[in-house]
Structure 1
Amino acid sequence: MVYLHEMDENNGLIAGDIDRDKGSELRESFQSADPFPHIVIEEFLPSNVLEICVGDFPAGSDVAEQKFDRHQERQKESFNPDILPPSTRQIFYSFNSRPFIRVIENITGLKGLIPDPYFAGAGLHRIHQGGHLSMHADFNHHKPMNLERRVNVLIYLNKDWRAEYGGQLELWDQGMTRCAQSILPVFNRCVIFNTTQESMHGNPQPINHPERVPRRSIALYYYTSTWDETKRDTTTQFRVRPGTTDRVDWRTKINEVAVELAPPVVIRNFRRLKKHLAGTH
């Protein structure tokens, strides 16, 4: 049984008369989950909706909005929905619609969720053979809209994916003492979780598909208008698993110390210089 059967399988639109309480039946399971609030939903969308996304997935990397290839995030790409074909763009716009947001609010218990028209860091994600994403807590501030990040929604696009192929989504406790959940990224499996500095997650096991098929997913982020000057703006915070070859993200740590210690005028000029240098390449 498809969970969000109210979504049209041809265009991704959600029926306007969808039950206003849909998702509330999952809230208790969501809020009591270990190690932090989350839920895994099988057969989340009509399969044809995801087939559209798979069919529209860029074959190459030239239109990727972001590419990452360092120790903490290896062989990872993200594609903003606005550069994708209209069929997939429509589906992403539906993810930003009131009926879909209300379902996420009912599941999480968080009201007033705000979608991101910029799709900052969101969209279609791909990790190639040998790639991984180390354990981390996500950035917490949407600067253009001055919003606080609150919820992640991940929907997987990988058919016939086995544990030996790697890429499992791992959820760890805040102290990084144990992996509480290991979730295989199989087709039409959805994971929803609170986004806080305690929600340590990642897929640290390198992709190892025998036919070199990459790991693909849909990533959606939702916010609230609760950001204020008392909160500390943080970028992605990587953490090291005990007994592994994970590396400390010194680049981020050094940048954060520099921001804390340097006068604002120095930081502004440094950012202008970085932007200028990026534009000359």
Structure 2
Amino acid sequence: MNRIDLANLIFEKINIHKEELKIQFRNTHSGIGYFFLDDLLPKEIALEISQAFPEPNQMVLKKSIRENKYVAAQMNLYHPLLEEIIYAFQDKRIVEVIGEICCIKNPIPDDNLYAGGISLMGKNQFLNPHLDNSHDKDRNLWRVLNLLYYVTPDWEENYGGNLELWPNGLEQKQITIHSKFNRLAIMETHNNSLHSVSPVVFDGYRRCVSNYYFADSPLLESDTFHVTSFRGRPENKIADLILRTDTFLRMCLRKIFKKGIKENPHVYKKDN
């Protein structure tokens, strides 16, 4: 299937459930607004997408105290179905209906896949609590929505690898959104949208298709520029101290070098 075929199916599914998704988002908007929708695509298509994922050794390993996961954004290196499903979420109709659900005027999809694309997380891998970088790669637009489509069959919640939201900070219990097969989860990104992925405890890989939407204005009037800002999990105070120091130092550098010292490699570099 191509991106238009996939977009037709996704749009139809979202549009059918639009009103209930609005309610779901509105009920969470005071903290970190989010909604999720199950059975996004016909099961056989979701299975094809899952089976099209590359092996971990064909992806980029990001491993540090901040995170441990496999990612990829250079989509022409992989099965074409993966590029088609990513860009299906950038179809104008889907962007508009998601913007309507989330009360965002004129959201802008990211053709560059800056920090988007696909990801794998296996046993003992994780993503610590963090705020996403506030802007696009050129620092012209504000990041406003994070779209996550999960495609691992039979992935149980107790396997880990689930999206966690911390609307009340790390001192309060997180909201866990199961990374269930064929589930689309969408969350706001702003200065308070602290989120993480729980450590995987199962001997398998959680597969995810990722997109971001941007806008000309931030979601909150209080939003300010920030780099991707990591924290330690509540039970790990030492890691939290190290990561807060790391964020402070990187923010100091960005005050001098507006677009960073070097270009972020996590983008889709297309041939002219």
Query: Does the TM-score normalized on the shorter chain lie above 0.5?
Result: yes
One-letter code of the match for 1:237? S
Residue matched to 1:251: 246
One-letter code of the match for 1:168? N
Q: Tell me, in whole angstroms, the C-alpha distance in 1 between the residues paired with 2:70 and 2:125.
A: 10
Residue matched to 1:122: 116
Residue matched to 1:134: 128
Q: Deviations over 1:127-156 (max 9, x none)?
A: 121110011111111133711100011111
Residue matched to 2:71: 78
Residue matched to 1:237: 229
One-letter code of the match for 2:251? E
Q: In the TM superposition, what is the alpha-carbon distance from 1:234 to its structure 2 partner?
A: 1.4
Q: In the TM superposition, what is the alpha-carbon distance from 1:238 to its structure 2 partner?
A: 1.4
Structure 1 regions of 5+ residues with no counterpart? 1-6, 276-281
So what's the TM-score if we normalise by structure 1? Answer: 0.79
Q: Tell me, in whole angstroms, the C-alpha distance in 1 between the residues paired with 2:92 and 2:246.
A: 39
Q: Deviations over 1:160-183 (max 9, x none)?
A: 222332222111124322224112
Residue matched to 2:207: 216
Name the SS of the counterpart of 2:138 in structure 1: coil
Residue matched to 1:185: 179
Would you say the 8 A contact 2:142–2:215 is kept in 1? yes
Residue matched to 2:269: none
1:143 and 2:140 are equivalent in the alignment:
no
- The count of corresponding residues between Structure 1 and Structure 2 is 256
- Greater relative contact order: 1 or 2 (C-alpha under 8 angstroms, separation 6 or more)? 2
CA RMSD of the aligned region, Å? 3.3
Would you say the 8 A contact 2:190–2:223 is kept in 1? no
Q: In the TM superposition, what is the alpha-carbon distance from 1:121 to its structure 2 partner?
A: 0.9
Q: Deviations over 1:206-243 (max 9, x none)?
A: 2111xx2112111111011227xx96431211123433
Name the SS of the counterpart of 2:108 in structure 1: coil
Identity of aligned residues (%): 24
Q: Tell me, in whole angstroms, the C-alpha distance in 2 between the residues paired with 1:273 and 1:87.
A: 28
Name the SS of the counterpart of 2:70 in structure 1: strand
Residue matched to 2:21: 26
Q: Tell me, in whole angstroms, the C-alpha distance in 2 between the residues paired with 1:238 and 1:52.
A: 34
Q: Tell me, in whole angstroms, the C-alpha distance in 1 between the residues paired with 2:2 and 2:224.
A: 41
Residue matched to 1:197: 191
One-letter code of the match for 1:40? F
Would you say the 8 A contact 1:73–1:132 is kept in 2? yes
Q: In the TM superposition, what is the alpha-carbon distance from 1:25 to its structure 2 partner?
A: 4.1
1:14 and 2:1 are equivalent in the alignment:
no
Name the SS of the counterpart of 1:51 in structure 2: helix
Change in Cα spacing, 1:90 to 1:273, as seen in structure 2 (3 Å) is closer
Would you say the 8 A contact 2:3–2:87 is kept in 1? no
So what's the TM-score if we normalise by structure 2? Answer: 0.81
One-letter code of the match for 2:227? T
One-letter code of the match for 1:71? I
Q: In the TM superposition, what is the alpha-carbon distance from 1:18 to its structure 2 partner?
A: 5.5
Residue matched to 1:53: 49
Q: Which has the larger radius of gyration?
A: 1
